[in-house]
Chains A and B, each alone.
Chain A
Amino acid sequence: MKLLEIQKLCKTYGSGETAVQALKNVSFSVQRGEYVAIVGESGSGKSTLLNMIGALDTPTSGKVLIDGRDTFSMKDKKRTIFRRRNIGFIFQAFNLIPELTVEQNIIFPLLLDYQKPDWDYLEELLAVLNLNERRNHLPSQLSGGQQQRVAIGRALITRPSLILADEPTGNLDTQNSREVIALLKGTSKKYEQTIIMITHNRSIAQTADRVLQVSDGILSDLGRCSE
């Protein structure tokens, strides 16, 4: 069952002679629960693609359908609410709120949606992320791997159907990278979530169900890395 469908997506920055085509007629779809890695050179357009999928940036043309709903036909407010409830983000730089504890950082998206946290689910997440002992710590008191686990917890708390990760292991050492990926994979299976992850790391890309490559704004499906 398709969760995400991208139709003829184009993105052009600038105009006239200075125009740069970041994405050229990109089309693909992703199944629910699938774990997809996007690889490509720097400047190839993969971050632009992820921003379009996450409704952070608007395409020049084409459609992004999540669960059959066209995100760019929605008004800004509706799109924000849709994003809040259906998409979880994980950044390379963690982007945690330094003033909030681990627990507060995780529940923050729920508070933005005026929802009461499901404390049982939070406990479960903290256990899965191995952050129980650290729940009252500030981000500055955590290691990089722990911070990224908090970011994963924040992305999972709203039970989104789609998780977008932009080089989530970019700031982590090998051991932590491996743990974070295992965690992401495990949670996506457990909560039936779709993951789309940008990575430069070949070995991490190999763990994905499917690998997409972006080169000069053109997307090609490499299929399973093991294939």
Chain B
Amino acid sequence: MKRAVMKSYLDLIPISARMRKKQNRMTLFCIVLAVFLVTSVFSMAEIMAKGEEEAMLKKHGSHHIAISGLTTEEAAQLAAGSDVSASAWYRAFGEDIYEGYQIGGRRVILYGTEQAYVDNLRGYETEGVFPQKENEVMLNTPAKEQLGIQIGDNVVIQTPSGAFDFTVTGFCLDEMAKYNKKYEGVCAYLRPEMLDSVLQTNGETCTSFYVVRFAQRTKLKQAIADVKEKYGLADGAVEENLAAVALAGGSSSQQVNALYPLAAVVSVLVLTAGVLMISSCMNSSVSQRTKFFGMMRCIGASRKQIVQFVRLEALNWCKTAIPFGLALSIAVTWIVCVVLKNIVGGEFSEFTFRFSALGILSGVLVGVISVLMAAHSPARRAANVSPVAAVSGSMEIGKTVSHAASTRLFKVESALGVYHAVSSKKNMTLMSLSFAFTVVLFLGFYALLDFANRLLPVDGELNPDISIAPVENVNAIPKSMKDEMSRLSGVEAAFGSAMAFDLPALINGNEGSVDLVSYDDYMFRWTQNAVASGSMQSVHGDTNNVLTIFNKDSRLDVGDRIQIGDTELNIVCVVSSGIGTENRPALVCTEETFARITGENKYMSLNVQLTKDATEETVDTLRAIAGDNLFYDRREENRENTSSFGVFQAAAYGFLAIIALITFFNIMNSISMSVSARMRQYGAMRAVGMSTHQMTKMIAAEAASYAVCGLVIGCVGGLFVHRMMMNKLVYQHFGGSWEIPAEPIVIAAVIFALSCAAAVYAPAKRIREMEITETINEF
């Protein structure tokens, strides 16, 4: 006969797991959640780091050093060295200032370089070939559209000393085309000797660099030092490409380096929350099986065996939960990458999905560690079940009640509920602290969101899509241009501001200098949202009342008096951000006041916000109206800012949602555990006439006691954290003073209330659906 072989009492674990699938679902879900979160966080951190790394290399090039003052022979000798993997000559002309060189009426930046630079060191996407002869040129991709040319066409580079004819051999998507949206000209790549010849004709020169990338295994610092020594180069002659050097050195940018500690902090938070979640699930499971553990003790299981049983039971869940959590995380990470890369775009366009060994390892570790840590308390709890519990069916044996529930304040069922909550001080403390932890996290994240909001200005603020400025820094744009632009269809608003820099002034009687900026009505209206202190109601018309933009160096405040010439201005309001300057204290006044003080009636900066349905025609019309003024199209930059903020917001709110979910599970499990422990008592209460409605109220009162207590403790701790974070992150840099944030507290309270309602529902239903006699016998 085939015998179902059971070799150890621990074989009961998988058998029991199969039978108790439904009861274990919650615990499994908690483990899956913890593994999923940690794996996702680390995977995303790694993907971001790699993406950032690739973007940096694309932006700054993969060369490690750029050497100036090297002869052709020395360069050839250096290139032949075994530790050099790629090298090329490189020189640029007209990058920083407009030198008057043009192609087809557009500004041109000239580069003299070699194919290795374009293909190998920068890795530009190219079409066609790099110039092989002197009169050949490769242009950057935008030139194709802007000039309407193809490979093989002829172009003329206009220089102050004459025109030069070139044949276009190819196009490349260079750094300027990809990253510098403000630049509206073209870039031309010539052979080095050709650039020299063009510049010579014009009596110009530019520095010639020999850029070098070392082989992968080369010790960079040593290699750079060797090059300097060998060719007798001064320190200034060797320029390091910090991005590539830092990456080769094992570290990357500060931003990237900051990602892993951030991921670690988030993981610790998830681990803590995971331990709390899993532990409360397991406690709930243990308290529902008091009779079982009592029976085990009765028939001879030692405490150690029970501890081992509960721990292994928990680890057994990992077998299913960890792979599931990992798979879920990989799928979600992949989806997030696809969304970030293809839909959000911008800085996320370099994100490509990859399997993160670090993410998977951290997920597995956190899964196992959190389960082992979480199992500690339930295992002890199970081991401490008295064997008498199996015989008598009660955990409460030996517990003495020192005082009765107070029925003065509440009806008896609510009074009993509150009493059940407060009767165990340890449980009450743990529950309250776990609720409080949620509130603290909530408030902390809110402070971070506020910070991000100020760092990345988004739609709806004074964020122009188009900016127009005179070539020189003077107030030269007529106000009529603003009116003309604002009448165009597709223009949401046009606003202008005049500026006067470095005006000598007496600041509260002390000599100094200030910048004066004028705002129009539209700008004042939006600035209202940025008021940090004071009021800007009195700043209208020709008045001496002004605002100041918060500047942590000057720290002008409400009530300060600034005298410019004969005019004494009063600061009536401090705003955290606005259009102004950062170098000196900036005062913001009305256009009338500005005209009175400076005598100037034109703008230095004219900004336009477009409607969502604005077309390119609108932009072209604006460009035409702007005439010779500098014209900046900031739409792409704004889109990137908005998408970055959107991603940050999604991540932060995602975490808030997870915190809320954890709270939800915690409350549900704790209530379920408490109900299980008192099932007999509840049965007896029902037997003597307590209605199911009263029963529900009693359980609700218990849940509410934990929630209220947790909310109060959480608010005290959370407000302290919020204030500290706001002071450090926001007020120090953007000004303002701390106020109690009502919104997150209300949200936390609502989540607590909903969780309590949901937590009460299941156990109340369980009791309702049980026969009274069954409830009495259940233990």
Contacts and interface: CB of A to CB of B under 8 A. Distances in A.
Q: Do A and B come from one complex?
A: yes
Interface of A: 13-14, 18, 47, 50-51, 54, 56-57, 76-77, 80-81, 83-85, 89, 91, 93, 95, 97-101, 103-104, 107-109, 111-114, 119, 136, 154, 158, 166
Contact of A99 (B20, B298, B300): B20
B12 A166 contact: no
Contacts of B4: 101, 103-104, 136
Interface string B381-410: 000001110111100001010000000000
Interface in B14-58: 15-16, 18-20
B148 to A, nearest CB: 79
A153 B12 CA distance: 18
A47 B300 contact: no
B302 interface: yes
Given A56-B387, A99-B20, A77 B304 contact: yes
B723 interface: no
A127 to B, nearest CB: 13
- Give 9 nearest A-B pairs by CB, closest first: A84-B300, A111-B9, A99-B19, A56-B387, A95-B295, A80-B302, A109-B299, A99-B16, A112-B9
Nearest to A117: B6
Interface string B338-350: 0000000000000
A81 B300 CA distance: 6
Contacts of A109: 299-300
A50 B131 CA distance: 102
A91 B391 contact: yes
B19 A98 contact: yes
27 contacts: A18-B400, A47-B391, A50-B391, A51-B391, A54-B387, A56-B386, A76-B303, A77-B302, A80-B297, A81-B302, A91-B298, A91-B391, A95-B295, A97-B12, A97-B295, A100-B12, A101-B4, A103-B3, A104-B4, A104-B6, A104-B12, A108-B12, A108-B299, A111-B9, A112-B296, A112-B300, A114-B8
A15 B8 CA distance: 43
Contacts of A111: 6-9, 11
Contact of A108 (B9, B302, B303, B304): B9
A97 B711 CA distance: 41
B328 interface: no
Given A47-B392, A93-B393, A166-B391, A80 B6 contact: no
Interface in B126-184: none
A220 to B, nearest CB: 23
B291 interface: yes
Nearest to A122: B3
Contacts of B20: 99
Contacts of A112: 9, 296, 299-301, 305
B292 interface: yes
Contact of A80 (B295, B300, B388, B392): B300
Contacts of B296: 112
A57 B7 CA distance: 31
Contact of A56 (B9, B301, B305, B388): B388
Given A80-B300, A81-B302, A97-B12, 8 more contacts: A51-B391, A54-B298, A89-B390, A91-B391, A95-B298, A95-B390, A104-B6, A112-B305
Nearest to B14: A99
A56 B12 contact: no
Contacts of A51: 388, 391
Contact of A89 (B12, B292, B299): B299
Contact of A83 (B6, B300, B303, B386): B300
A99 B23 CA distance: 13
A91 B6 CA distance: 24
A62 B11 CA distance: 40
A162 B237 CA distance: 96
B254 to A, nearest CB: 56
Nearest to B300: A84
A51 B16 CA distance: 28
B298 A56 contact: yes
B712 to A, nearest CB: 35
Nearest to B1: A135
B300 A113 contact: yes
A103 B3 CA distance: 9
Nearest to B296: A112
Contact of B299 (A47, A84, A98): A84
Interface in B258-317: 291-292, 295-305
A192 B589 CA distance: 106
A30 B298 CA distance: 21
B391 A99 contact: no
A54 B387 CA distance: 10
B716 to A, nearest CB: 39
B579 to A, nearest CB: 71
A84 B305 CA distance: 13
B7 to A, nearest CB: 8
Nearest to B387: A56
Nearest to B11: A111
Contact of B390 (A18, A47, A77, A91): A91
Nearest to A160: B300
A57 B398 CA distance: 10
A156 to B, nearest CB: 12
Q: Which of B11, B19, B299 has the most CB of A within 10 A?
A: B299
Contacts of B393: 93
A58 B484 CA distance: 96
B153 to A, nearest CB: 82
Contacts of A103: 3-4
Nearest to B299: A109
Interface centre among B16, B387, B777 (most CB of A within 10 A): B387
Contacts of B7: 111
Contact of A95 (B291, B302, B388, B777): B291
Nearest to A158: B300
A142 B295 CA distance: 19
A89 B199 CA distance: 104
Most B CB contacts (10 A, CB to CB) among A101, A112, A154 go to A112
B22 to A, nearest CB: 13
Nearest to A57: B388
A98 B393 CA distance: 16
Contact of B6 (A13, A77, A107): A107
